[in-house]
Amino acid sequence: MLRYFLLLGGTECLVPPYVSQRSNDVGLVSQRNCRKRSSGRVVLLGSGIPPEYPTHDGPVDSGGGPILKGVILGGGSFGLAMAHVLGRKGVAVTLLMRNRLDAETININRRHPRYLSDIEVPVPTCATTDEKEALRDASFLVHCVPVQHSRRYLRKIAKLVPTGVPVLCTSKGIDRKSLNLMCKILPSQLGEGRSYAFLSGPSFAREIAEGLATAVVVASEDRRVAFDFRDLLASESFRVFTSADVVGLEVGGAVKNVLALAAGMCEGLDLGTNAVTALVTRGLYEMQRIALAMGGRASTIAGLSGVGDTFGTCFGPLSRNRNTGVRLGRGERLDDILADMGEVAEGVETAFALERLIKKSHKSYRLDLKFPIIFGVAEILRGDRTPREGLEALMGLPLRPEFIAPVSDAQANRRRPLIVVSDYEIGDSDEDDRDIDFAD
């Protein structure tokens, strides 16, 4: 088999050619988005990407065609998981990391010393800390840096990111300072002149790296880029749906981490199945309310990136947010848990961000009745209440109908994204009459 040698950051890596491993049951590669070359291989062109798409100027294979080079920003658990997804498709990937020793360990031992260290990093992956070298001929970026560090990180590398290169974001949360989702942060730092897509859904890094079946959603306002990333990532073990609802997808990914903290607390307090199920269901109602107010769709919240990821994170054993909640419920201090965990629990900062965002944008009376779980989690994390007091407060809320009808015209105006949380409640007859997905 032909092999290509790529010298990156002083490390020689074997990079097999990009080979489409899509099988018929996964779906046909879109003709608009790909080109069949004489070698019979299928190469994604990135049709939504401007003509200067650097694939065409980057390294070439022996047939003179471009080789895709993905750069993964952030070499933590999810960066590694994405290297596995792309590695399975034979795509050359550079992990852009902060720690030189970690990068060298990956290049030499094919393992990260701390994250998923029992799983070998796939061969087409190189690791480096050299930002300039890594980004120079990137064809696409995959952003896997935690949300709270993203703004500063992106600002630092912005000048090195080639024009027009598309970005797939996998980070889930709301920035505590700016109160923005990643769909605002990325263009604000890397510019509007490129396409952005967002990946979410129940997708634990460990299970992906182990090759267990996973289904996610890629959302983008640019349908061609959503299709390109879908085709680039999809394999027999990684199923990718597409969506145009970026806000709904991101709200689901952000809020589910806060709900997982609450679900974990129920477990830590030994409250039983009734309590945690009720809490998660009511939490989804809060998630939906926020998504609708920000211009997202109810159907997205009912899908993989809403209910799906909430189930996985609130009930599955792998969630770091849930495990943080369990330990809080058992009486440990938040600072001790976070220091000890050594991995990110995005729900903590996102709970504070959501609390502020809702209070700032929502002029309604008794917000604590509309978002009791999100507000309750923020109070517990701040140390204003214990987890048990938080639960007692939920049980003591005024008795009300399960769903409240809309109280303003905002629902009718949903076609215009509100961006800020507005003053209305959703009803149980909530309709979603817009396109569910891109019309193919």
Ligand X SMILES: O=C(CO)COP(=O)(O)O
Residues that bind ligand NAI (CB under 6 A): 74-79, 98, 115, 144-147, 149, 153, 170-173, 203-205, 343-344, 346
74 binds, among ligand X, ligand NAI, none (CB under 5 to 8 A by kind): ligand NAI
260 counts as binding ligand X under rule CB under 6 A: yes
Q: Six-digit token pair at 222?
A: 């640019």
Give helix then strand counts, H and E, for the chain. Answer: 17, 12
* Distance of closest approach, residue 80 Cβ to ligand NAI, in angstroms: 8
Residues 163-192 that bind ligand X (CB under 6 A): 172
* Distance of closest approach, residue 342 Cβ to ligand NAI, in angstroms: 7
* Distance of closest approach, residue 308 Cβ to ligand X, in angstroms: 9
Question: Could you say which of 94, 321, 350, 411 contacts ligand X (CB under 6 A)?
Answer: 321
Torsion sign, CA atoms 322, 328, 331, 336: positive
Per-residue b or e along 146-158, where b marks 16 or more CB atoms closer than 10 Å to that residue's CB: bbbebbebbeebe
Q: What angle do CA 409, 410, 412 make, to 5 degrees?
A: 70
Query: Which residues are within 8 A (CB) of 375 and not within 5 positions of it... i.e. 6 or more apart?
Result: 355, 358, 367, 368
217, 248 in Cβ contact below 8 A?
no
User: What is the full DSSP assignment across 177-244?
Assistant: TT---HHHHHHHHH-SSS-EEEEESS--HHHHHTT--EEEEEE-SSHHHHHHHHHHH-BTTEEEEEES
* Distance of closest approach, residue 304 Cβ to ligand X, in angstroms: 10
Considering only the stretches 88-96, 181-189, 199-207, 332-340, report the one whose residues sit in contact with ligand X under the rule CB under 6 A.
Answer: 199-207
- Strand 11-15 and strand 4-8: the pairing is antiparallel
320 counts as binding ligand X under rule CB under 6 A: yes
Considering only the stretches 14-22, 317-325, 359-367, 413-421, report the one whose residues sit in contact with ligand X under the rule CB under 6 A.
Answer: 317-325
Between CA 57 and CA 63 the distance in angstroms is 14
Which CB, 44 or 81, lies closer to ligand X? Answer: 81
310 binds, among ligand NAI, ligand X, none (CB under 5 to 8 A by kind): none
Which CB, 148 or 299, lies closer to ligand NAI? Answer: 148
Which CB, 53 or 115, lies closer to ligand NAI? Answer: 115
| 145 CB neighbour count, 10 Å cutoff | 26
Between CA 251 and CA 356 the distance in angstroms is 15
* Distance of closest approach, residue 330 Cβ to ligand NAI, in angstroms: 22
Which listed residue (89, 172, 256, 370) is catalytic? 256
Q: Write the DSSP symbol of residue 314.
A: H
Which CB, 138 or 246, lies closer to ligand X? Answer: 246
Which CB, 106 or 266, lies closer to ligand NAI? Answer: 106
307 counts as binding ligand X under rule CB under 6 A: no
Active site residue 36: no
Question: Could you say which of 313, 350, 411, 422 contacts ligand X (CB under 6 A)?
Answer: 313
CA dist 328 → 84, 323, 333, 341, 380 (Å):
33, 9, 6, 13, 9
Q: Six-digit token pair at 293?
A: 């107010």
98 binds, among ligand X, ligand NAI, none (CB under 5 to 8 A by kind): ligand NAI
337, 322 in Cβ contact below 8 A?
no
* Distance of closest approach, residue 199 Cβ to ligand X, in angstroms: 10
Which CB, 258 or 269, lies closer to ligand NAI? Answer: 258
Q: Which residues are known catalytic residues?
A: 256
> What residues line the site for ligand X (CB under 6 A)?
172, 202-204, 257, 260, 309, 312-313, 319-321, 346
